[in-house]
Structure 1
Amino acid sequence: MRAVRDFASGIVHEVNNILGVIIGNAHLAKKSSANAEALEKYMGEVRDAAEEGRELMRHVAVLAGEQSSRARPLSLNDLVINVTSELDPPPELDLSSEEATVQLDVWMAREALAGVVQFMAETKAVTSLRVATRVVGSAAALTIEDDGASPTDDELRALFAPFTKLDGRPKVGLQLTSLADLASRSRGYVTAGPREPHGLRIVLTLPVSDGTPSGDRPGVPLSKKGV
């Protein structure tokens, strides 16, 4: 029940913030109807806040969805390359020479991994980001680590809860929660800890799939699906 309360509290806080921006800027726009430049500015703030609200509800809908039935064999290496291909500067990739094939919903996997990588890349103190894959026995591991601030023990305990606050890092939102949800749906697990000498390390561990990986090769966009 504590997790449910924290989730509900986070949603209420985020929605109230969004509504505050919309109502405040709508009021200012009404007062500035004769000033085209000011009107455009305030209405732009309203549109941005509405888009933020839509994105929040989309992520909540994904978390509330049923167990994924669209999972299929997927190359973990290809997923990493696709997700990180547009990052600037690009992260260091350390990919397994052994094919890391896992059973995942492609769209959910891309959304979850992209959210975590973007969250770590947007941390101001981060100057390097490393993403690695390994196959160990019947498990495949995906490691994402940066050189930003090391999380405290209290922060680590709450890291995958919605809207967790971390010192020296951007607002978390639902990115880390989505990764934990992906792991749960895929019979895997996710862990987090400090990176030496400083930084954050997140490891997603999944069972290796016996199937042939999909045709989503590097440079070919993975499918996207809206809610």
Structure 2
Amino acid sequence: TYLSPQVHDILGYKPEEAMVKWTELASDNPINEEGFQRTEKAIKTGKTQAPYELELVHKSGKIVWVEVREVPIVENGKTISIVGALTDITERKQAEEEKKKFEDQLRQAQKMEAVGRLAGSIAHDFNNILTAIIGYSNIMQIRISEDDPLQADVDQILGASQRAAQLTQSLLAFSRQQIIHPRPLRLNEIIVNIEKLLLQLIGEDIELRTMLADKNLTIMADRSQIEQVLMNLVTNARDAMPEGGLLSISTESVELDSHFIKTHGYDIKPGRYCLISVADTGIGMDEETRKKIFEPFFTTKVLGKGTGLGLSIIYGIITQHNGFIDVLSKPGKGTTFKIYLPVIKSSIEETEAETLPPPKGGTETVLVAEDDEVVRTIIKAILDRFGYKVIEAVDGEDAVTLFKKNKIDLVILDVIMPKKNGKMAFDEIKELCPEIKAIFTSGYATDLIDKKGILEEGINFIPKPVSPDDLLRKMREVLDE
């Protein structure tokens, strides 16, 4: 077999070097088998076959893609040799792979956006219903004695309501529409603080190893959200290792340049990042499954054992934190999730755990503007019970009219209302009384609320469903400022 110097150069060998048969340098990519079959067909038939691509392994170990063109030499009806040419197409294949990754990321983002719009549209009505259920249940708790058997029933109602509220937050989380409270955090401390909880999650037959970077990697993040990401990943790893195994969590500082980001199809900016790797030795997954794992409601678990939202929630949280998540996996070889979060230069403010005071009432006059009658009624019932005088408005326009007629100490405004939304009504009210105090509330997703100009610094906002205690505490906080 004669190989030209150019072929040697493509594969990293000098012409004088002994080299194995070039076809033996093929990787284990299944596409190679199809190419070799064309060569065999050319030999058998004596007819030229269509060009094909091979994935070969360079002398250095890197992957090289070549296009193969072959012409069989036939004498007396028998193929006596084949003349062929190899063309290095590695750069073209890399460009195609980059394009494919970008398109995959775009499709994923579009799916998340579509389902996110659906989640945002149902969140408002769903959260209004939950506000009423939670509110009336709390009133029942107050009205019946502590030893009444009905207390246990009310507790069950409240527990179910809280789970439903968490489901709504999960829907908003994967669509990146959940309200988050980011602040500078040391990543390693988050992992150390929840390590005991993670050990309880995985059980005794799985070994947990943590390998944390020496440096104090500081990220701007919502602690509870990052904890949820870690717990969801660890739970997934546990389920992938039913016979036990090894679970590793590591952190390190990495510098990502534009070439790396483009190659991997990440929608992030170049710079210094904290890399969190969560790896298991479980069953792994095939490429088809890997492509779908971040899709909402996709699950490989049996019916009733999973919602299919766990990894979608992670995707949404990480994206909302200006990061990216990737996954490496092969059947039988385990799975590794890689999370990239921007590193920041900032000091950490040490804060003690806050103890919430019991809710207090008052005698102030409160204007409640809420277009949902059930929610408006329950808010009035709660505030009446705690001594407040309540004036009800059915929409934004009604709120402005009633404010002009009454002496109001505080306005509680739903963000999205007919005729005038909460922000428009508040702006008019503020012109009448610049020092008026206000609280906004809504069950809509954050992107819609933000468009109304609500999520600004210094504006008081409570997301629905809101519990009576949280509302009462917020009211006293605002009134006593």
Distance in 1 between residues matched to 2:293 and 2:327, nearest whole Å: 8
| Alignment deviations for residues 57-114 of structure 1 (CA, whole Å, 9 cap, x no partner) | 3322444564655211111111112233222446210111112111111122222222
| Alignment deviations for residues 19-53 of structure 1 (CA, whole Å, 9 cap, x no partner) | xxxxxxxxxxxxxxxxxxxxxxxxxx999987764
The percentage of counterpart residues that share the same residue type is 17
Distance in 2 between residues matched to 1:93 and 1:154, nearest whole Å: 30
1:165 Cα offset (Å): 2.1
Amino acid at match of 1:181: G
Moved more, 59-68 or 105-114: 59-68
- Contact 2:172 2:178 (C-alpha < 8 Å) held by counterparts: no
Distance in 2 between residues matched to 1:69 and 1:190, nearest whole Å: 18
Residue from 98, 102, 127 that aligns with 2:219: 102
The equivalent residue for 1:157 is 291
Residue from 128, 152, 155 that aligns with 2:246: 128
- Contact 1:108 1:182 (C-alpha < 8 Å) held by counterparts: yes
Q: Secondary structure at the match of 1:134?
A: strand
- Contact 1:183 1:206 (C-alpha < 8 Å) held by counterparts: yes
The equivalent residue for 1:58 is 169
The equivalent residue for 2:325 is 190
Q: Secondary structure at the match of 2:345?
A: coil
Question: Do the aligned partners of residues 198 and 84 (structure 1) sit closer, same or farther apart at CA in structure 2, a change above 3 Å counting?
Answer: same
Structure 2 residue 236 is the aligned partner of structure 1 residue 119: yes
1:205 Cα offset (Å): 0.4
Question: Do the aligned partners of residues 47 and 103 (structure 1) sit closer, same or farther apart at CA in structure 2, a change above 3 Å counting?
Answer: closer
Question: Do the aligned partners of residues 215 and 164 (structure 1) sit closer, same or farther apart at CA in structure 2, a change above 3 Å counting?
Answer: farther
1:171 Cα offset (Å): 2.8
Q: Secondary structure at the match of 2:275?
A: strand
Amino acid at match of 1:71: P
Q: Secondary structure at the match of 2:248?
A: strand
Over alpha carbons, which structure has the higher Rg? 2
The equivalent residue for 1:29 is none
The equivalent residue for 2:191 is 80
Ranked by relative contact order (alpha carbons within 8 Å, sequence separation 6 or more), the top structure is 1
Distance in 1 between residues matched to 2:222 and 2:354, nearest whole Å: 11
Distance in 2 between residues matched to 1:126 and 1:6, nearest whole Å: 36
- Contact 1:151 1:194 (C-alpha < 8 Å) held by counterparts: yes
Q: Secondary structure at the match of 2:245?
A: coil
- Contact 2:285 2:332 (C-alpha < 8 Å) held by counterparts: no
Amino acid at match of 1:73: P
| Alignment deviations for residues 148-188 of structure 1 (CA, whole Å, 9 cap, x no partner) | 111110111111112222379x6363221121112211111
Matched residue count: 191
Question: Do the aligned partners of residues 144 and 109 (structure 1) sit closer, same or farther apart at CA in structure 2, a change above 3 Å counting?
Answer: same
Q: Secondary structure at the match of 1:142?
A: strand
The equivalent residue for 2:181 is 70
* Unaligned 5+ runs, structure 1: 9-44
Amino acid at match of 2:335: L
The equivalent residue for 2:26 is none
Structure 2 residue 346 is the aligned partner of structure 1 residue 211: yes
Question: Do the aligned partners of residues 96 and 77 (structure 1) sit closer, same or farther apart at CA in structure 2, a change above 3 Å counting?
Answer: same
1:2 Cα offset (Å): 4.6
1:142 Cα offset (Å): 0.3
Distance in 2 between residues matched to 1:130 and 1:64, nearest whole Å: 28
